[in-house]
């Protein structure tokens, strides 16, 4: 059987090549049509005006709904095919995921705008079914290679869009690379590109130059987005992968060497008379000094939204239905700039489905992260490290961005990785429990 690019000889659970190629094609079409715009780099502050936000909230987007319905149709086709991976719902993380999905649907019953909530739940279910179908058909390594291809495609499309608009000016001090998305969303896409190519390059002998080249390009444009949270998430993700497989003695040596280099650099700076505090702050902020004390205006938003959470802490306002036109106007008036999201996935989640839904989802994600880490430690198969990195990236990005709660590309890839880790098991493998302190119920092959 032929497999997808960057396939591994020991990945017996890989699906057919045509399934991989068709999945990449469909996902590219869906996400290019739903979250990319050639005009993104010319919008003021890379976002819509408050009036445009309110209009979009009231009417929804028919093209977007059609794209996700097409994704669901593709998913149902995949579900009818013989699978290389078997679904399992007999573990606590799997139960938590199922309960979360059910809770999201139930929350439409108490939404202030039931019609909007139902529309968005339907989109969420389309995405969830697609993530489950792809996780069932493709191996985690195939998912990793698909992420590398899709992220590269989105980056190239973004570069082409900025060239066409005349906005590709990295030499400008205020420049942020947006491409076809908001720079923070683009940063998340580029973090996935760096993570996937980094993991693929570790086990690839023939295409390692190409993969490291893509990693370097992705990292360069990630820095140009000036998206601090995405860059921090990538650092945490790569550190997590490195930590799991590096022996304790080697870790101590690397940490000592890093501390020595930082101390030597600081001493050299002092001798040269440099303002180290100012320079360090500039580097950490990626040159974005505006509103640094309020996390680029996020603290006033969070302060305002906490008062709304206090009114409905347990059940929330109904799945993705807090941001009605009236609330966009109210919150935007309080913080004095257009706002239609919480700029924190955790706050967004509580507003949407309350503490109950948030606890269900976050506990499943953390359990999936632990399982991926245990699998990587036990098998050394980099695809498990990729899932570990994806989930770590999502948890970090969720601190200051809401993207992880929306039906977008990076959350979808993370959902596929989570489903593949928590809900799927290779059919052809003879299984046994993993030792080394792996969570109960985690199983892998003897191969």
Tell me whether residue 9 is in a domain.
no
Total domains, the chain: 1
Instruction: Compute the distance between CA of residue 90 and CA of residue 26 in angstroms, rounded to an integer.
Output: 31
For residue 267, is it within any domain?
Answer: no
Q: Is residue 32 part of a domain?
A: yes
Extended beta strands in 195-261, E state? none
In a domain, 428, yes or no: yes
pLDDT in tens, the chain (447 residues): 455 565 554 455 677 889 999 999 999 999 999 999 888 888 776 665 544 444 455 556 778 889 999 999 999 999 999 877 788 887 888 999 999 999 999 999 999 889 989 999 999 999 999 999 999 999 999 999 999 999 999 999 999 999 999 989 988 878 899 989 989 999 999 999 999 999 999 867 778 899 999 999 999 999 999 888 999 999 999 999 988 877 655 555 555 555 555 555 555 544 555 544 454 444 444 454 554 444 557 888 888 899 999 999 999 999 999 988 888 888 888 887 788 888 899 999 999 999 999 999 999 999 999 999 999 999 989 999 999 999 999 999 999 898 889 999 999 999 999 999 998 876 544 344 433 333 333 333 333
Beta-carbon contacts of residue 114 (< 8 Å; ≥ 6 apart): 108, 318, 321
- Examine residue 331 and state whether it is found in any structural domain, yes or no: yes
Token couple for 321: 């239905």
Residue given tokens 């998430």 in the structure block: 233
Helix, strand, coil shares of the chain as percentages rounded to 5?
70, 5, 30
Are the C-beta atoms of residues 124 and 64 closer than 8 Å to each other?
Answer: no
Q: In this structure, is residue 260 part of a structural domain?
A: no
Cα–Cα distance measured from residue 386 to residue 213, given in angstroms and rounded to the nearest whole number: 18
Q: For 426, phi and psi rounded to 5 degrees?
A: -55, 130
Q: Which domain holds residue 84?
A: 17-249+292-445
Closest of 181, 165, 64, 81 to residue 123, by C-alpha: 64
271: in domain: no
Asked whether residue 141 is assigned to any structural domain, the reply reads yes
Pairing assessment for the beta strands 443-445 and 424-426 based on DSSP bridges = unpaired
Q: Roughly how many angstroms between the first and final C-alpha of the chain, as a whole number?
A: 19
């Amino acid at each position: 059987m032929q497999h997808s690019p960057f396939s591994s000889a020991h990945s017996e659970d890989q699906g057919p090549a045509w399934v991989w190629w068709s999945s990449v094609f469909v996902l590219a079409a869906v996400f290019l049509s739903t979250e990319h715009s050639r005009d993104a780099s010319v919008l003021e502050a890379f976002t819509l005006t408050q009036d445009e936000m309110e209009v979009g909230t009231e009417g929804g987007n028919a093209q977007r709904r059609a794209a996700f319905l097409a994704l669901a149709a593709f998913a149902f086709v995949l579900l009818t095919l013989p699978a290389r991976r078997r679904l399992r719902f007999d573990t606590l993380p799997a139960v938590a995921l199922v309960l979360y999905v059910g809770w999201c649907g139930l929350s439409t019953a108490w939404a202030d705008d039931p019609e909007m909530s139902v529309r968005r739940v339907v989109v969420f279910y389309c995405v969830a079914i697609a993530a489950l179908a792809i996780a069932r058909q493709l191996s985690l390594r195939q998912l990793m290679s698909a992420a590398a291809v899709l992220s590269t495609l989105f980056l190239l499309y973004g570069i082409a869009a900025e060239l066409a608009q005349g906005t590709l000016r990295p030499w400008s001090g205020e420049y942020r690379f947006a491409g076809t998305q908001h720079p923070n969303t683009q940063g998340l896409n580029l973090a996935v590109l760096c993570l996937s190519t980094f993991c693929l390059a570790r086990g690839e002998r023939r295409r390692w130059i190409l993969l490291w080249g893509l990693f370097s390009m992705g990292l360069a444009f990630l820095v140009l987005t000036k998206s601090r949270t995405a860059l921090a998430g990538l650092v945490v993700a790569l550190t997590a992968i490195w930590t799991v497989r590096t022996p304790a003695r080697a870790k101590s040596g690397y940490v000592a060497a890093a501390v020595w280099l930082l101390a030597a650099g600081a001493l050299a700076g002092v001798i040269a008379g440099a303002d180290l505090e100012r320079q360090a702050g500039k580097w950490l902020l990626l040159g974005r000094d505006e509103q640094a004390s309020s996390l680029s205006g996020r603290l006033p938003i969070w302060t305002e939204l906490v008062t709304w959470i206090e009114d409905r802490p347990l059940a929330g306002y109904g799945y993705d239905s807090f941001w009605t036109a009236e609330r966009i106007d109210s919150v935007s008036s309080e913080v004095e700039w257009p706002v239609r999201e919480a700029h924190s996935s955790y706050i967004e989640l509580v507003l949407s489905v309350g503490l109950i839904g948030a606890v269900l989802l976050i506990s499943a994600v953390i359990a999936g992260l632990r399982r991926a880490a245990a699998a990587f430690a036990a098998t050394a198969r980099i695809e498990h490290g990729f899932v570990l990195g994806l989930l770590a990236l999502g948890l970090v990005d969720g601190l200051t961005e809401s993207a992880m709660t929306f039906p977008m590309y990076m959350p979808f890839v993370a959902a596929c990785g989570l489903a593949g880790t928590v809900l799927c098991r290779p059919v052809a493998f003879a299984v046994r429990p993993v030792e080394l302190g792996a969570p109960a119920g985690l199983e892998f092959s003897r191969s």
